[in-house]
Amino acid sequence: MYILFFFLICFIFGFWILASLDKEDYIKGLLRIILTLAVGFAFYNFLLLILALGFRDLNFSLHFLNIFLFLLSFFVFLASQSLSKKIKLYKISSRSFKKINIFTVIFGLIVFAFVLNSLQGMLWKDSVFPYGILKGWGDGAYHMGMIKHLSVSDPFKLDHPVAGGHPLTYTFFINFTSAVLLKAGLSFKISWHLPLLIFGLSFVFLLKAFGKLIFKKESLAVALLFLTLFGSGGGFVYYFGQAGEKYNESLPIALIKEFKDPSYEYSHLDQRTGGKPAHMNHNANIVWIVPLISFFSHQRSFNAGAFLFFLILYGVFLYRFKKKVYWQWFFPGIIFPFSHVHSFLAFAILIFALIIQWIKKDYRIFISKSFIFFVFLILLFIIPQILFILKGTEISQKGIVKPWFGWMQCTHKLNWFSCDEVEKGMDKSFWFFTLKNFGAVFLVWVFSIALFFKIKNKKIKQLIIPSILIFLIFNFFKFQPWEFDNNKIIFYWWILAVILGLNFFNLDFFCQKCSERVKNKIKIVKKTFLILFIILASLAGLIDSINRLKNGLEINNTKNYGYFAQEDLKTYHWIEKNTLPNDIILTCSNANNKIAILTGRAVYLGFSGWLWTQGNSELIQDRSKNIRNFLNNSDSRKICRDQVTHVLIDECFERDFNFSLSKLKSGPSIVEKLNPKYPLYKIKCPK
């Protein structure tokens, strides 16, 4: 009952926020219903986060906010004079059912595939035991630990679940929303999936609506969504080659057999990035993984980032090209940095390029006092978030970006532009690497830019400069220690490139004065090439996606991997009951850290891979040194200074550090076992 009240409050809150954004009531029907819930859910949790940090109590803030918003909504409803008009916007017209066609069916199938893919990212056995996919197994452990940690933190604070006491240097907002649902009484299973579906499906509907807005064609809007999620590069060439080599059959039969049981992931043909069985490694250096799998199954924060990106972009385009005031649509950007930094960065590049093009017509808006005040208000929210995420990382001292040419083409240890010695699985040629990874979409994007003067659609034409700018930036700089993470920015170039690619087949190249008969023949040729483009730009991605989706929602022991067993529950339940929520525990550093997942207690130094990619390598070195000093010299001063309270000396710990309790010189004077049954020791800190 409480959770229904919770979502009612979110929906009412979203009702008024969307009404203030969509002042002209352009958004109607199903899209408005979905956006109301998503916007309300996002802003509710953002406001709750501010309160929880202020009161330092998540539980109190949750109840306080529910009561406050309920009373506020009650008085607003009483005072509202346009309530009935706004409610009518949520009516789904019977005409929309009469307009159902083949593209509606395709859209429905895409939505179904998106939901299934999202659910497959984490399956639950008996609603208790989570099972992750190989590509996102470690990420799943990290996110579950963060969710549990945020839900139990008391007093509430934003510290790192795998580096207790250190600022949380990760875009955590979607995990916070899951923590709130967990706190509100939902199961971990529902708390995990619900925010993903709310933000993810909102993105799907927004992208289709954006496509409809700029193309004015249902078919191209659906094609945009399809290629965004299922698009891929030149991996299909290797698919044809492997089918012919593997099966001694005619080519069509061989292709069908290889499609049903693929030897490789054809949008992920590399040996450097991991996330697949060893026998599927390949040295083709194709690392642009089909977006449906790469971004919308295990990269949780991406759902929130993509939703905010297209919420703002759709609103701005919807209003600006109707010559209405549009800057209110930037307001949801106040949630951006905590939601997804890469999406925020890509949006900043996009909007900068658009404003440069709009400044001649809109300069009066940009110099108006109301607009300047509005921008100042947004920056007041955004800047502290950016500073908080960067706080404590090497990025804050050494700079945000580093020169790095060609994304994943090769390594650049000696020179940021020239490749080191090219090994297997790398490429000498930047253009060959780019063509392999982005395939037909890259080629047609280049052709579209070359023929920009032929583009008559103003909305699409204005996306050329942003697409070029994003392409140059992700190919000349890296924004995290691991260059592969640039793919989170590339995703937005990919969407712009797909838009320009689809529009390319609408251009009038020649024969503008031809007869209708000739023009009709040209239209048929264009449609034929458009279909061929869609096939070539998605074949590898479809093979990988269908191979993933066909597994359904059943746990497969060869494709799903668990995190803990039945016997772990008793041990970690005891640990949770006998430690404080904000205690920091020294454990082994494996990715699957049961302390974080099952108790919500922060660990002193968890899996270093996550900390390294977030720019925390110095922290890893310092804490590793402190641990060695404690274990080898029985010196607890430095780990006590970092507020470590306990050490879990289990098999994993002994294996990880090649350590046994007998090695502690001072033995019992350094640690105290709390219960003979459990391997948890209290650290005795010097006074």
* Packing angle of the helix pair 516-536, 218-230 (nearest 10 deg): 20
- Of residues 100 and 496, the one with the higher pLDDT is 496
Instruction: Give the range among 47-56, 129-138, 530-539 with minimum mean pLDDT.
Output: 129-138
> Over 70: is that where the pLDDT of 665 sits?
no
Quick check: 505 and 529 in contact, CB under 8 A? yes
**pLDDT tens across 233-261, in order?**
999 999 999 999 999 889 999 999 999 99
Residue 459 CA, distance from chain mean position = 26
- Rounded Cα–Cα distance for residues 71 and 599 (Å): 35
State the DSSP code for 601: P
Mean pLDDT of the chain: 91
Q: Give me the pLDDT at residue 72, please.
A: 86
- Rounded Cα–Cα distance for residues 270 and 264 (Å): 10
β-pairing, 644-648 vs 584-586, is: parallel
Determine the straight-line distance between the first and last CA of the chain, rounded to whole angstroms. 50
Q: Give me the pLDDT at residue 667, please.
A: 52
Q: What is the mean pLDDT of residues 153-169?
A: 95
Q: Give me the pLDDT at residue 81, please.
A: 66
Q: What is the mean pLDDT of residues 360-375?
A: 86
- Of residues 678 and 215, the one with the higher pLDDT is 215
Q: What tokens appear for 456 in the block?
A: 């008559």
**pLDDT tens across 387-432, in order?**
998 886 766 556 568 899 999 999 998 899 999 888 888 999 999 9
- Rounded Cα–Cα distance for residues 67 and 178 (Å): 20
**pLDDT tens across 199-243, in order?**
999 999 999 999 999 999 999 999 999 999 999 999 999 999 999
Q: 3-class secondary structure for 374-429?
A: HHHHHHHHHHHHHHHHHCCCHHHHHCCCEECCCCCCCCCCCCCCCCCCCCCCCCCC
- Rounded Cα–Cα distance for residues 460 and 454 (Å): 11
Q: What is the mean pLDDT of residues 526-546?
A: 96
**pLDDT tens across 453-479, in order?**
888 899 999 999 999 999 999 999 999
The DSSP secondary structure of 243-260, one letter per residue, reads HHHH--S-HHHHHHHHHH
Handedness of CA 315, 316, 321, 323 (dihedral sign): positive
- Rounded Cα–Cα distance for residues 53 and 50 (Å): 5
Q: What tokens appear for 517 in the block?
A: 């008969």
Residue 427 CA, distance from chain mean position = 28
- Rounded Cα–Cα distance for residues 469 and 496 (Å): 11
Quick check: 40 and 17 in contact, CB under 8 A? yes
Q: Give me the pLDDT at residue 5, please.
A: 87
Q: What tokens appear for 96 in the block?
A: 């929309």
> Over 60: is that where the pLDDT of 518 sits?
yes
Q: What tokens appear for 587 in the block?
A: 């454990």
**pLDDT tens across 592-615, in order?**
999 999 999 999 999 998 999 888
β-pairing, 671-673 vs 163-167, is: unpaired
φ/ψ of residue 286, rounded to 5: -100, 110
Quick check: 73 and 12 in contact, CB under 8 A? yes
163 DSSP β-pair partners: 160
Quick check: 320 and 358 in contact, CB under 8 A? yes
CA within 13 Å, CB half, 57 = 7
Residue with tokens 């795998």: 162
Q: Rounded to the nearest 5 degrees, what angle is found at the Cα of 676, between the Cα atoms of 674 and 680?
A: 45
- Residue 183 binned pLDDT confidence (cut-offs 50, 70, 90): very high
> Over 70: is that where the pLDDT of 103 sits?
yes
User: Which stretch of DSSP H or E encloses residue 130?
Assistant: strand 129-133
Residue with tokens 């449906």: 292
- Rounded Cα–Cα distance for residues 148 and 596 (Å): 7
Q: Give me the pLDDT at residue 340, please.
A: 97
Instruction: Give the range among 141-150, 249-258, 310-319, 503-512 with minimum mean pLDDT.
Output: 503-512
Q: Give me the pLDDT at residue 507, please.
A: 81
Q: Rounded to the nearest 5 degrees, what angle is found at the Cα of 597, between the Cα atoms of 653 and 137?
A: 85
Quick check: 587 and 595 in contact, CB under 8 A? yes
Q: Give me the pLDDT at residue 229, please.
A: 98
Residues listed for the chain? 687
Q: What tokens appear for 337 in the block?
A: 């940095």
- Rounded Cα–Cα distance for residues 518 and 203 (Å): 40
- Rounded Cα–Cα distance for residues 224 and 343 (Å): 19
- Residue 514 binned pLDDT confidence (cut-offs 50, 70, 90): confident
Quick check: 407 and 494 in contact, CB under 8 A? no
- Residue 9 binned pLDDT confidence (cut-offs 50, 70, 90): very high
Instruction: Give the range among 172-176, 331-335, 341-345, 520-524 with minimum mean pLDDT.
Output: 520-524
Tell me, what amino acid is at 169?
A: T
Q: Give me the pLDDT at residue 459, please.
A: 94
Nearest to 294 by CA among 623, 548, 632, 34: 548
Nearest to 202 by CA among 21, 33, 3: 33
- Rounded Cα–Cα distance for residues 224 and 210 (Å): 9
- Residue 1 binned pLDDT confidence (cut-offs 50, 70, 90): low
State the DSSP code for 159: E
The DSSP secondary structure of 286-327, one letter per residue, reads B----HHHHHTTS-HHHHHHHHHHHHHHHHHHHHHTTT---G
Instruction: Give the range among 336-340, 486-490, 551-555 with minimum mean pLDDT.
Output: 551-555
Residue 378 CA, distance from chain mean position = 22
Instruction: Give the range among 23-27, 201-205, 322-326, 562-566 with minimum mean pLDDT.
Output: 322-326
For the CA atoms of 88, 31, 214, 487, the dihedral, rounded to the nearest 10 degrees, stands at: 160
Q: What is the mean pLDDT of residues 343-353?
A: 96
**pLDDT tens across 624-639, in order?**
999 999 988 888 899 9
> Over 90: is that where the pLDDT of 83 sits?
no
Tell me, what amino acid is at 224?
A: L
**pLDDT tens across 430-446, in order?**
999 999 999 999 999 99
